[in-house]
Amino acid sequence: MRILIVEDEAKTKEGLISIIGKFTEYEICGIASNGVEGIRKIKELKPDLIITDIQMPEMDGLTMLRQVEQEGIPCYALILTAYSSFEYVRTALQLGAVDYILKPVDTVSFIAVLQETEARILKEKSEKIDSAHLIWSLMTCKPEMNEQLTRQLSIQLHINDRMEITLFLVKPDSIDQETADEMVQCIKERLNELCIMNFQVIHLSFSYGIVVLIIDTENNKHLNTMFSTCILPSLHHIGSCYCSYASMLGLAGLKGSVAELNALLSYAFVYGSEVILDKQMVEKLKFSPISYPMDLDNRIRKEIMNGDYEKALKTSSRFKELVIESKGRPELIREYTARFSSSLYNGAKEYDSRPEPLLIFHYFINNIIESKTKTELISNYEKIVNTILTINHEETDIDNLTILKVINYIRDNYSKDITLSDAASLVGVTPEYLSKLFYQQINVNFVVFLRNFRISIAKRMILSGKYRIQDIADQVGFKDPKYFNKVFKTVCGISPSEYKKVI
C-alpha cells in the first residue's frame, strides 16, 4: 500500500514515518506540509491512502479533501485529529475519509487502523473489478503487483491459503470470439447441472485460453474424471480444443500454475485432444532420440529435379514413417517436418515448370510449426506433399490459385474496407464456398486470416518505431483506434502500447 502523508507538524510527521517504516511493509510515496501541496502530490503520485491532518497553513485537510472530491479524484483518506476537533472528523467522514487517528498517535492502534483500512480498500477495489479482470491483471502484472492482486482476488472469491482449488485450462483451437464464448457458457451450464458449487469460468485471452477455477475441492477427488466425461465431449461438439488440469492450495501460485497448464497443452501432440493432460501423464512420457534425415532431404530434392514424382512420393512417405510417426520429442518432429517440407517447397520452386507461385505453402509450413496434435501436423504435411508431388493435380491447382488470388488481394488491399463477398466476387465463387475452401487450405476462415494479416503488418510497423498507434490503426484498415486496440489485444494478448514497451 502506497501512503501519502499530509502533515505540517514536524514531530507528528517524523513519528508517522518511523512507525510505518519500522512496523509495516507499506511504502511512503510522498510527504506534503499543507493542503495545496497535498493536492499536487495526490495528482502526481496517485497514492492508495492519504493520511492528513485537519488544521494546516495555506489549505486545511478538509478543504483539500473537498477539492479532491469536487475534481472527481478517487482516494482513500485517514484523518489525524485531537479529541477537541471531533466535529471536523464528522465532516471528513462525510467527504469520504475511511477512518480517523487520534493524537498523540498510539503505535498499536495506528497499525491496526492501517491494516483495517488496507483490507477495506482491497475489498472495495475488488468489488469494483470483476474476477476476469483481476485474474487477467494477475497474469500480466509486474512481479511487485503480484501479492496485492492475489490478496484482492482472494478477498473477492473468499479464498484462504488452506483451500484446495482445482484448475482446468481449456484452449480453443479457433480464435473466433463466438466459439470461446460458447465454450464458456457450455462449461458453466455443465458445472451447474453437475451441482458443482463455487466456480469461476473466465476467458482470459486467446493466448491463454479459458481458465476454470473450482474452489474448495478437497472433498471432491473425481473432478478430473467428471470434466473429462461430462464436459470435454460437449466442448468438442462446439469446436476443437485442448485441456489441462492441476490443483493448488490458495491463490498465491495461480500465475505459475496457469503457465504450467499452458505448457502441458503442448503434449496434446502426443496424447491428442480427447484427454485432459496433467503433470503425472507428462512425467511418464519417454521419448526416443531422432535426428534429421539429411539423406532423405537430398534424395527428394534430386527426385523433384528429375521430375520423378512417384519416387519422391515414396521418399516423403519414408520421412513420415521415420520422423512424424516416431516417438521423438514433439518440438523436434515439428522442426524436422517443417524443414523437410521447406526442402520440398524450395525444390518445387527451383525445378518445377508449373507457372503458379507457391506462396500458399508458407501457410502450410507455419501450420506445421504451430500444430497442436500429430493429426494436424500430418494433415498439413500431406497437403504440401500431395500438392507438389501428385501427378494429377489439376483440381488442387485450381483451389490453390483461388486462394492465392485472394491472399494477393488481401496483401494489396488490407488498408481498405474489404469483405468476404468482395473476395468471392474477385475469384468468381460464392462467399460460402470461399469460406469453406479457405478453411480447408489455410485452417482458418477468411475473416480470421484478414484480421491476423492486418495485425501482423501492425506489429511490424510498431517495431519500426516510426508510427503512432493511431496512424498504424488507420493504415492497416481499422478506422476506429479503440476497435484496433481491442482486436490487437485479442490476437496478441496485450495492447499495442504494451507490445511496444515489451519489444
What element of type H or E holds 244? strand 241-249
Q: Which of 280, 304, 326 is the last residue of a domain?
A: 280
CATH number at residue 460: 1.10.10.60
- Please report the pLDDT score of residue 355 as a whole number: 41
| φ/ψ (deg, to 5) at 414 | -60, -20
Are β-strands 49-53 and 2-6 bridged in parallel, bridged antiparallel, or unpaired? parallel
Are 254 and 135 in the same domain?
A: yes
Q: Look at 353 and 240; give whichever has higher pLDDT.
A: 240
Are 272 and 299 in the same domain?
A: no
Q: Band the pLDDT of 460: cuts 50, 70, 90.
A: confident
Q: In this predicted structure, which of 32-41, 285-294, 406-415 has the lowest mean pLDDT?
A: 406-415
Domain assignment of residue 49, yes or no? yes
Q: How far apart are CA 440 and CA 453, in angstroms?
A: 18
**Residue 55: how many other CB atoms lie within 10 Å:** 14
Are 122 and 135 in the same domain?
A: no
User: Which residue type is seen at 432?
Assistant: E
Q: Which three cell numbers stand for residue 20?
A: 510505518
pLDDT tens sequence across 211-260: 999 987 665 668 888 999 999 999 999 888 999 999 999 888 888 899 89
Domain assignment of residue 403, yes or no? no
CATH number at residue 218: 3.30.70
Predicted TM-score of the model (pTM): 0.57
Are 114 and 144 in the same domain?
A: no
> How many folded domains does the chain comprise?
4
Are 274 and 222 in the same domain?
A: yes
pLDDT tens sequence across 117-166: 888 877 776 665 677 777 877 877 778 888 888 888 888 788 888 888 99
Are 419 and 475 in the same domain?
A: yes
Q: What is the mean pLDDT of residues 92-117?
A: 80
Domain assignment of residue 204, yes or no? yes
Are 34 and 84 in the same domain?
A: yes
SS3 content of the chain, % helix, strand, coil (to 5): 60, 10, 25
Q: DSSP letters along 205-217, please?
A: ETTTEEEEEEES-
Instruction: Say whether pLDDT at 277 is over 80.
Output: yes
Range of the domain at 462: 413-503
Are 168 and 138 in the same domain?
A: yes
Instruction: Say whether pLDDT at 356 is over 50.
Output: no
Domain assignment of residue 399, yes or no? no
Q: How far apart are CA 246 and CA 414, in angstroms?
A: 42
Domain assignment of residue 285, yes or no? no
Q: How far apart are CA 137 and CA 146, in angstroms?
A: 9
Q: Band the pLDDT of 357: cuts 50, 70, 90.
A: very low
Are 165 and 241 in the same domain?
A: yes
